[in-house]
Structure 1
Amino acid sequence: MSAPTETVLPLSSAERIATYQLLPPNGLAIEVAQATHRINLINTWGPTIIFPGARVLEIGCGQGNCTAVLAEAVGPQGNIDAFDPAPPDYGSPFTLAQAQAHISQSEIGKRVTWHRGKPLREPHRRDDPAGKVEEAGWDVAVLTHCIWYFKRPEELKELLSYLADGIKAGGKVCIAEYALRATEMAAVPHLLAALARGTLEAHRESNENIQNLVSPGEIKEVAMKCRWKLDSEALLVPGKGLMDGQWETRSVVTGRFGWQMEESPSLDDENRQSHMRVESVLRSARAAVLAAVEVIGGIKETRTMDVWTGVFSVDPNYIDSSGLGEL
């Protein structure tokens, strides 16, 4: 189940795609790295899946880093329905609304329709009220670095169950998420930081980027229970310029993470013992991150952990043997 050899986009297109983004001062290099990473992702899926004229459903589009790459790939005849439930004022240094509006004004803007919400059966808000998203109209659904944002573990199952009927016959679901492995030693701090952050957020309510850590194996298991079969998968080692690993690691090693630990689980008498145990785990997890950062020579040397990608299609021979039935 190896990745295709033909590419969707050349890496040389990354700099042009980066200019579609709203850039802070001296921010071009960061956005070029983001675009390069996402070109590498869609190239593992291949040109038979992401092709000119394709209609793509993108889940968790955020500020549009992958949206811009997808829009470049599908060309003027294609369309991206880009969904994200986050409020318009979410994000920094630019908000979701600002970043998406900037892309809409670019040369690829007409290829993208932004939606506030999730593409489930219930009604959703959208920026273009004149149109209506038709079910069974997408060629492919894309989930790129968004699954860890889901607040409830059940959300992935709900979404994949919906998509089994929500895309065209023969359509695909393409997923990219962190692999929870580090080929490069310099990516170990990112891996440990993600585990620390995931542990903290499992014990409190917050809007942090990591809400539920899900491994590639668990993603595949959930997909299989929702009528999907794995067609291909690949592992990528991100380039040094991708800053996500450094950003996540920095959020754990700073003093703010310690303050967040103190405000995590309830402190009432009934749960005090459990709270103390969780705090001990969190302190140890942070200590492990700090030690890993020291080993590699400082936080600026931190790299982003490996990324797993998978392509799924509806299994025509699926038999529900789990007893779970429909949602």
Structure 2
Amino acid sequence: MPTVTPPEELAGLLLIHGNGLKSQAVQIAHRQEIIEKWGGIPAGSRVLELGCGQGDCTIAIADCVGDNGTVEAIDPAPPGYGSPYTVHEAQKHISSGPLGPRVTFVHADPLLFLPAEDAVITEPKYDIAILAHCLWYFSSPSVISSTLRRLRAICKRIYIAEWSLSATLPTAQPHVYAVLTQGSLECRKTDTESNVRTVVSPAAIKELAEKAGLKVVSEASVTPREGLLDGKWEVDAVSDKDFVGEVEKNVTNERERAVVFALRDAMLRSLDAAGGRKNVTSMDVWCGVFEKA
């Protein structure tokens, strides 16, 4: 197993705004813990990463594969997407750094990048496919299933990490309610840039994988460390008055609207047990390894 570089050092290779090095290092450490739960990434591996975004996980993967390994990192986001730096700026910065030669960034829809389901594949092109914190960006469960079927043909193993919709810590329960609230709104919208578009639980992911011809090799969970801000970001988004306006604009059925607002109220109520918004942490993460059944 390759030596893991300290997260603070890897964070320094990313394009970081202001004094964000500390919080970015926590994000990197979180990805390193997920990789460890998967069983690691051997040096020399050929890795395909879907949903790479600005490269939080990409940089940790590139550190693992070593000089003889490769990372092909795919994301459909427009190059100008993102703030304060765009996806293109962030990826270009990684490419120009010391781990850049190991990484190839590709702007593409995964279903257009991957071979068709009926394509004849004689040998896997990649050792590992990685989908880390990206499944909720997919447009539907059926698209996730189709993606997994295509990955099955070209990858020896598939590593998945996603929020588990469960919280070991009471301070993380608001995060669970927040994403369920967002998901209940976003499924009623035809166009969205939300972080939460299709909410799938670990059980649902395993069912989709089974339908795609995959079997579970191992499972594990991660309780995020203090300083991982995803839970606070989602709670802040749902607490904001603009979210109420989005619900009123997009959910016309009064019963459906009542469900969204009931979930939001449950989130706001759960903040009492968490000690307020300032104490909110992030929910647990489910990590699964799959291979062809």
TM-score of the superposition, structure 1-length normalised? 0.84
1:215 aligns with 2:201: yes
Structural mapping, 1:13-162, within 5 Å? 13-47=6-40, 50-120=41-111, 136-162=124-150
Could you say if the C-alpha distance between residues 8 and 77 of structure 1 is closer, same or farther in structure 2, counting changes exceeding 3 Å?
A: closer
1:282 Cα deviation from its structure 2 partner: 1.5
1:240 aligns with 2:226: yes
1:295 Cα deviation from its structure 2 partner: 2.6
State the distance in 2 between where 1:199 and 1:135 align: 41
* Residue of structure 1 equivalent to 2:118: none
CA contact 2:76–2:110 (8 Å) conserved in 1: no
Could you say if the C-alpha distance between residues 122 and 100 of structure 1 is closer, same or farther in structure 2, counting changes exceeding 3 Å?
A: closer
* Residue of structure 2 equivalent to 1:292: 270
State the distance in 1 between where 2:102 and 2:31 align: 18
Could you say if the C-alpha distance between residues 264 and 102 of structure 1 is closer, same or farther in structure 2, counting changes exceeding 3 Å?
A: same
SS at match of 1:263: helix
Write the deviation string for residues 242-297 of structure 1: whole angstroms up to 9, x where unpaired: 000110110001111101111113x4xxxxxxx11111112211111111123322
CA contact 2:57–2:132 (8 Å) conserved in 1: yes
CA contact 2:114–2:151 (8 Å) conserved in 1: no
1:135 Cα deviation from its structure 2 partner: 7.6
The AA in structure 2 aligned to 1:25 is G
State the distance in 1 between where 2:196 and 2:111 align: 22
State the distance in 2 between where 1:153 and 1:229 align: 18
Structure 1 unmatched runs, 5+: 1-6, 125-133, 268-274, 316-327
The AA in structure 1 aligned to 2:159 is C
SS at match of 1:304: coil
The AA in structure 2 aligned to 1:188 is Q
CA contact 1:83–1:115 (8 Å) conserved in 2: yes
1:279 aligns with 2:264: no
1:121 Cα deviation from its structure 2 partner: 5.8
Could you say if the C-alpha distance between residues 84 and 232 of structure 1 is closer, same or farther in structure 2, counting changes exceeding 3 Å?
A: same
SS at match of 1:26: coil
CA contact 1:8–1:46 (8 Å) conserved in 2: no
Write the deviation string for residues 174-200 of structure 1: whole angstroms up to 9, x where unpaired: 000000100000000000001000000
* Residue of structure 2 equivalent to 1:201: 186
1:54 Cα deviation from its structure 2 partner: 0.7
Higher-Rg member (1/2): 1
* Residue of structure 2 equivalent to 1:314: 292
The AA in structure 2 aligned to 1:80 is V
The AA in structure 2 aligned to 1:186 is T
TM-score of the superposition, structure 2-length normalised? 0.93
State the distance in 2 between where 1:87 and 1:191 align: 28
1:83 Cα deviation from its structure 2 partner: 0.4
1:9 Cα deviation from its structure 2 partner: 5.2
Write the deviation string for residues 136-173 of structure 1: whole angstroms up to 9, x where unpaired: 31110000000000012211111111011122xxx100
Write the deviation string for residues 212-253 of structure 1: whole angstroms up to 9, x where unpaired: 100001101111111111010001100011000110110001
State the distance in 2 between where 1:285 and 1:298 align: 17
SS at match of 1:208: coil
CA contact 2:172–2:274 (8 Å) conserved in 1: no
* Residue of structure 2 equivalent to 1:270: none
Could you say if the C-alpha distance between residues 86 and 121 of structure 1 is closer, same or farther in structure 2, counting changes exceeding 3 Å?
A: closer
Write the deviation string for residues 55-86 of structure 1: whole angstroms up to 9, x where unpaired: 10001000000000000110111111000011
State the identity as a percent: 40
The AA in structure 1 aligned to 2:138 is F
State the distance in 1 between where 2:161 and 2:2 align: 16
State the distance in 1 between where 2:31 and 2:152 align: 24
4+ long deviations beyond 6 Å: none
Aligned length: 286
Could you say if the C-alpha distance between residues 218 and 64 of structure 1 is closer, same or farther in structure 2, counting changes exceeding 3 Å?
A: same
